[in-house]
Amino acid sequence: MGKQSTVLIPEKSPRRVGIVESDARDKTRKVVVQWAVRHPKYGKYVRQRTVLHVHDAENESRLGDTVEVAECRPISKTKTWALVRVMRKA
């Protein structure tokens, strides 16, 4: 394998906003996206979350930052999202 090129993010790719949970690895962040959904029977709102492995080529995000991520081509076995921008620093 040669040197990886920059990751292209399609204009219409799905985007999510989440909080960086881990910045321990180089060029990779764990981002948590949380939302609430109403339970079909009981009506109570249940919190749910998804953990995304995000490609951060310049290591610009840090633990606790609010970031916008977009879906892209598979970069590794688990990374299929790329960092678009840091919305708010922690």
Strand-pairing partners, residue 52, are 31
Buried b / exposed e over 55-81, threshold 16 CB at 10 Å, is bbeeeebeeebebebbebeebeeebeb
CA-based radius of gyration for the chain? 15
pTM over 0.85: yes
**22-69, pLDDT tens digit by residue?**
999 999 999 999 999 999 999 999 999 999 999 999 999 999 999 999
pLDDT band at 10 (very low <50, low <70, confident <90, very high): confident
For each of the domains in the chain, give its residue range(s) and CATH number, in order of start: 15-88 (2.40.50.140)
